């Protein structure tokens, strides 16, 4: 095989093996390569407005108190618009099995893919049935690539950001970790990922957490940071607890390649857009400043309504579980 062939001999054999035994050929190296297959959550049978005690984040609580918690029909419409854009670009879209009165919007919380490994999240205990609802996808993965972390490893996909040689991980390691329902990924997860992917540089970032103030809470890493294109990123400084860790990302991408969002824009989830490719980004239609900047940088921006879903402190990236990128 010539050196300039797209795949190595080993990868060609792996693809053949997967096709022969009807296994899904998982492949995720970064956040922006051309998307081929994805799980998109669902808002169907989302259930009634939850009680404050049953909420997982402060923004949902704010909207319940204000009487503005999103309606199921509005969220279903927003997710349908997202699915339409994905299919416009010939992406294979899987949806969860519908569970009655269960919020299944945020597929990124329950699992994530790095390289060819499908890793089930150790999520909040009362969300475990959401994992069962994507068994039709999970069962297409070769058994050796189905990874279930040990019980002490707390991790959710919104905190795990594959970026070529790196895996960026959002964490909270304070002694008061158990007091924060918004702290979803711990130090044990960092060690677990280092052991699972020894050839990767796994880098942890301490995130700011609050159970009561959504404007001072980075629920996941993708709530204050996301790479886009080949060498650019969206950042919110206040989402990071440690200046040096934030500065690493500024230096890595270059200040001229970074779109720094305000506290209000972080609250509205401006960093939680979604890349279909290095050139195509799906964004919320109300993100005027961001969307204008993206177009100035040469991106194709597919604008859709997603603000109602954003009232639950998650947006486009949170709603997706990418399975295959080129």
Position with higher pLDDT, 321 vs 123: 321
Q: Is the pLDDT of residue 315 over 60?
A: yes
DSSP 56-77: SSHHHHHHHHHT-PPPHHHHHH
Tens digits of per-residue pLDDT, 161-214?
999 999 999 999 999 999 999 999 999 999 999 999 999 999 999 999 999 999
Beta strands in the chain (DSSP E): 35-40, 92-94, 111-114, 117-120, 146-147, 160-163, 166-171, 201-206, 225-228, 232-235, 258-260, 274-275, 280-284, 300-304, 320-325
Q: Is the pLDDT of residue 20 over 80?
A: no
pLDDT classification of 57: cutoffs 50, 70, 90 = very high
Domains defined along the chain, listed by start: 24-325 (3.75.10.10)
pTM across the whole model: 0.91
């Amino acid at each position: 095989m010539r050196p300039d062939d797209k795949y190595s001999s080993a990868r060609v054999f792996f693809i053949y093996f997967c096709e022969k035994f009807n296994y899904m050929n998982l492949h995720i190296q970064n956040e922006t390569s051309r998307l081929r297959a994805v799980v998109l959550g669902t808002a169907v049978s989302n259930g009634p407005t939850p009680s404050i005690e049953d909420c997982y984040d402060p923004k949902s609580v704010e909207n319940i108190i204000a009487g503005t918690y999103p309606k199921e029909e509005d969220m279903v419409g927003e997710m349908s618009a997202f699915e339409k854009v994905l299919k416009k670009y010939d992406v294979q879209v899987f949806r969860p099995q519908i569970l009655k009165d269960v919020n299944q919007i945020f597929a990124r919380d329950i699992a994530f893919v790095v390289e060819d490994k499908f890793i089930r999240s150790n999520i909040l205990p009362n969300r475990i049935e959401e994992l069962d609802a994507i068994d039709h996808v999970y069962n297409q993965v070769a058994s050796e690539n189905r990874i279930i972390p040990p019980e002490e490893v707390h991790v959710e996909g919104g905190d795990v950001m594959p970026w070529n040689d790196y895996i960026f991980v959002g964490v909270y390691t304070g002694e008061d970790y158990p007091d924060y329902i918004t702290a979803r990924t711990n130090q044990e997860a960092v060690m677990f990922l280092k052991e699972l992917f020894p050839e990767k540089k796994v880098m942890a970032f301490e995130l700011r957490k609050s159970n009561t103030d959504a404007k001072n809470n980075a629920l996941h890493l993708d709530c204050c940071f996301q790479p886009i294109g080949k060498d650019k990123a969206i950042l919110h400084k206040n989402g990071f607890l440690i200046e040096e860790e934030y500065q690493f990302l500024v230096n890595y991408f270059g200040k001229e390649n970074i779109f720094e969002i305000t506290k209000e824009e972080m609250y509205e989830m401006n960093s939680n857009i979604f890349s279909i490719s290095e050139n195509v980004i799906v964004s919320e239609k109300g993100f005027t400043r961001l969307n204008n900047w993206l177009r100035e940088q040469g991106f194709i921006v597919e604008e859709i309504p997603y603000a109602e879903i954003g009232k639950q402190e998650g947006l486009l990236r949170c709603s997706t579980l990418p399975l295959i990128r080129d």
